[in-house]
Amino acid sequence: MGKVIWLVISLIVLIIVLGVVVSFFFLFDDDVDENSHIGIPQEISSFCDQNEGDAERDLCYAFQLVENYDYDYECEDVYSTSTFLESCMSEIPFRNAMKSGNPDNCEELTSSQKGAPDGFTYRNKCYIEFAKQKEDLSICEKIGDSTPENRNYKDYCYILLVQLLNDPTGCDLVVNQSLKSDCGQLGLLV
């Protein structure tokens, strides 16, 4: 019995030692891309850093990172042109809300933030993204009706979910008649 315990302890120690050795190997690996940006996968960094000129490189990152809320990076580490840097900074609260996994955090976002295109609201985009991610029509309800623009966002959210879920239930919730007609043309309305 004593030999078995000694053997198990020896194996555990060996595994720990191997784990430490392997960790040091990866920490001091000389093949690490010096241009890779903290928090962004190396394949994206390598791809975008091939572009000549800051604007082209920044545009590449903007397109690569637009739907990836899981990456944890500092805007200053990625973008060098002021336009892209300001846009990235304005999206930080939105990205944080998406990373939280809780659609209630969308409420904390201001309707529109610096750098947002005209008519674009981060709060509404946040609700729409969560509704798609969680495949949940009820999240669309969180988009207010206070303005015609908000109402259109809500209708758009319903239509997206109708398509995603292949379920016509959301078409009944669409208020805008033109959009409701579009929803019906999806061939899902009975």
Which residue's entry shows tokens 């995603």?
A: 164
Instruction: Give CA–CA dist 122/160, Å, rounded.
Output: 17
For the whole model, what pTM was predicted? Answer: 0.62
99 three-state secondary structure: helix
Average pLDDT, the chain: 76
Annotate 34-52 with three-state secondary structure. CCCCCCCCHHHHHHHCCCC
What does the pLDDT read at residue 68?
A: 67
Contact 165/186 with Cβ under 8 angstroms?
A: no
pLDDT at 102 over 90: yes
Task: State pLDDT tens for residues 43-80.
Answer: 888 888 888 888 888 888 887 776 666 667 788 888 88
Q: What is the pLDDT of residue 5?
A: 67
Distance of CA 53 to the CA centre of its chain: 26
Q: 10: which 2 tokens?
A: 């020896």
